[in-house]
């Protein structure tokens, strides 16, 4: 079985959700929105003036939970702005 996981990241309001929705419709893959889970799991916090940031001390906990979710799918589209570019290699 082929496994394909797409990661679409960007600054808030730059079209990641729109692109993910289009690809999901075309490929039939589920979408995992990092921003949704950041709020749901209580990691949404103002930090350094940005309300979409996760503070450095909470980043690892958030990524651990997100990685568990990510690994539970064979095919998926991971999208949002809640992953720091320096940490993309974790996924």
pLDDT band at 90, cuts 50/70/90? confident
Nearest partner of 44 among 90, 6, 80, 5, judged by Cα: 80
Dihedrals phi, psi of 9, to nearest 5 degrees: -125, 155
SS3 74: coil
pLDDT for residue 13: 84
pLDDT for residue 67: 93
Residue 4 pLDDT greater than 80, yes or no = yes
pLDDT for residue 69: 94
- pLDDT digits 0-9 by tens, 45-59: 766 666 567 777 888
- pLDDT digits 0-9 by tens, 8-35: 988 888 999 999 999 999 999 999 999 8
| HSE-up (13 A, CA, CB side) for residue 67 | 11
């Amino acid at each position: 079985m082929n496994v394909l996981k797409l990661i679409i990241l960007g600054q808030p309001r730059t079209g990641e959700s729109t692109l993910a929705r289009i690809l999901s419709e075309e490929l039939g893959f589920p979408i995992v929105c990092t921003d949704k889970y950041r709020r749901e799991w209580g990691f949404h916090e103002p930090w350094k003036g940005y309300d979409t940031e996760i503070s450095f001390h909470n980043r690892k906990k958030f990524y651990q939970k997100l990685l568990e979710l990510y690994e539970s799918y064979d095919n998926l589209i991971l999208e949002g702005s809640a992953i720091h570019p320096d940490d993309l290699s974790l996924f």
